[in-house]
Amino acid sequence: MQDLKITLIQSDLHWEDIGANLAMFEEKIWQIGQSTDVIVLPEMFTTGFTMKANKLAEHMNMRTFKWMKQMADQTGALVLGSFIATIHDRFYNRLLWMEPGGTFKTYDKRHLFRMGEENQTYSPGESLLIGHWKGWRICPLICYDLRFPVWSRNRWNAALKRPSYDLLLYVANWPLVRVNAWETLLKARAIENLSYVAGVNRVGVDGNGIEYNGQSAIIGPKGDSIFSGQEMETIKTLQISSNSLHAYRDKFPAFMDADDFTIDSEELMERDQLFGQS
Q: What pLDDT, in 10s, does the model give residues 112-121? A: 999 999 999 9
* Across 18-25, average pLDDT: 98
Residue 230 is predicted with a pLDDT of: 87
| pLDDT for 21 beyond 80 | yes
Residue 127 is predicted with a pLDDT of: 94
Residues tagged active-site: 43, 109, 143
Residue 253 is predicted with a pLDDT of: 87
Residue 70 is predicted with a pLDDT of: 98
Residue 259 is predicted with a pLDDT of: 82
| Cα-based angle 166, 164, 261 (whole degrees, multiple of 5) | 135
Q: Are 11 and 202 in contact (CB under 8 A)?
A: yes
Length, in residues, of the chain: 278
Helix 63-75 to helix 18-30 angle (10° resolution) is 0
Residue 106 is predicted with a pLDDT of: 98
Residue 265 is predicted with a pLDDT of: 57
Residue 122 is predicted with a pLDDT of: 98
Tell me how far CA of residue 174 lies from CA of 70, 143, 203, 210, in angstroms.
28, 7, 9, 10
Residue 153 is predicted with a pLDDT of: 94
Residue 20 is predicted with a pLDDT of: 98
Burial class (CB in 10 A: 0-12, 13-18, 19+), 15: middle
Average pLDDT of the chain?
93
Q: Please write the tens of the pLDDT for every residue from 221-260.
A: 999 999 998 899 999 999 999 999 999 999 998 888 888 7
| Alpha carbon distance 36, 142 (integer Å) | 22
| pLDDT for 266 beyond 90 | no
Under the banding of pLDDT at 50, 70 and 90, the label for residue 206 is very high
| pLDDT for 274 beyond 60 | no
Q: Please write the tens of the pLDDT for every residue from 29-73.
A: 999 999 999 999 999 999 999 999 999 999 999 999 999 999 999
| pLDDT for 89 beyond 50 | yes
The lowest-confidence range among 151-165, 180-194, 226-240 is 151-165
Residue 276 is predicted with a pLDDT of: 46
Residue 44 is predicted with a pLDDT of: 98
| pLDDT for 267 beyond 70 | no
